[in-house]
Amino acid sequence: MKRLLPSLLCFNAGFVDTAGFVTLHGLFTAHVTGNIVTFAAAIADGRMPSISKIIAVPVFAFVVVCARLLSHAMAERGQDDFRILMAAKLVLLAHAALVAIQFGVPELADSPSAVMMGMTLVSAMALQNALHRTHLTDAPPSTVMTGTITQLLLDAAHLWKPRAGIDPAQVRDRLRRFGLFLASFCAGCAAAAVFYLAVGVWCFLVPPLVALAEIFALPPPAPAAPAKG
């Protein structure tokens, strides 16, 4: 379970980002800061960025802050905030799938269905990122692989030319873990490409199913503290 959940999160992030990018006219739904680059590129090219690219980062930020506040409030009440918010992410992904199936591939990036679907996916990935950072602190981010690849290369270089004071067993364990996470993300990207070619927007049914598997992979909730007095 320790490695299954982060791997499922990485797979889903790769799948959602790839399927969202090809469906929603180049919108990054998981690697949301990529929209800053495409936003700037559109301006440099003399074009107005789409509404989704303008509001993606603010929506992401808003959901992350709300998730943190809700998580804290639920934890204070003794509720399983991790499981509840992961279920909320599942609902968001299922809603995005229904919009995609009902309306198909949007012809315009600024169409209501495109904006609704895009911001729903961005919100789902914002929830995932917030929960990952607060509950899976020993695993690298699931939506951005640059840091993971960098760490893999540094660890590989260390095993090739070891340095004193660093435990080789710890480096090898990190290589295995981070390599698994990177492979899971790439598998999600590849699966999204294959499913999109095969079934079109019906591929968006995969992320909520994976999100359901993520909930089953969650660790059991900690036992409630005994009441005082």
Position 18 in a domain: yes
Instruction: Look up residue 207 and give its amino acid.
Output: P
The stretch 93-100 carries a mean pLDDT of 98
Give the residue among 132, 128, 143 at the shortest CA–CA distance from 92. Answer: 128
Position 225 in a domain: no
HSE toward the beta carbon, residue 66, CA cutoff 13 A: 13
pTM for the structure as a whole: 0.91
Position 227 in a domain: no
Sole residue written with tokens 């690298």: 140
141: pLDDT strictly greater than 50: yes
Position 134 in a domain: yes
Query: Can you give the pLDDT at residue 227?
Result: 46
Res. 222 pLDDT band, cuts 50 70 90 = low
> Where residue 45 sits, what CATH number does that domain have?
1.20.1250
Domain interval for residue 198: 4-217
**How many structural domains is the chain composed of?**
1
Position 188 in a domain: yes
pLDDT of 143-180, one tens digit each?
A: 889 999 999 999 999 888 887 777 888 889 989 999 99
Position 129 in a domain: yes
